[in-house]
Amino acid sequence: MSTTINLSGTKKGVISVTKIDKPYGEKSEPVASIGISLAGNADAPEWKVHIPLDNLEEVIKALEAIK
């Protein structure tokens, strides 16, 4: 599953949100990968963060609180 969102305040920028099942090899746990590309390339973001799925609900709550 992957979602691409236009990055507000930019001409071509995007935010990409993807689930990666084994980001660091066979024994690694799934993560949500959030990337930012000012150039508009969702497949090669300039910045990214990997959030373990076990932490995802807490991160969503924190983001909702900021909203």
Task: Give the chain's domain count.
Answer: 1
CA dist 22 to 1, 3, 4, 32, Å? 14, 18, 21, 11
The whole-number pLDDT of residue 12 equals 97
Using DSSP's 3-state secondary structure scheme, residue 55 falls into: helix
Taking the C-alpha atoms of residue 16 and residue 5, their distance in angstroms, rounded to an integer, is: 6
The whole-number pLDDT of residue 39 equals 96
| Beta carbons within 8 Å of 54's beta carbon, 6+ residues apart | 29
The whole-number pLDDT of residue 56 equals 97
pLDDT of 1 > 90? The answer is no
The whole-number pLDDT of residue 18 equals 97
| pLDDT tens, position by position, 11-56 | 999 999 999 999 999 999 999 999 999 999 999 999 999 999 999 9
The whole-number pLDDT of residue 43 equals 93
In which domain, by residue range, is 41 found? 2-66
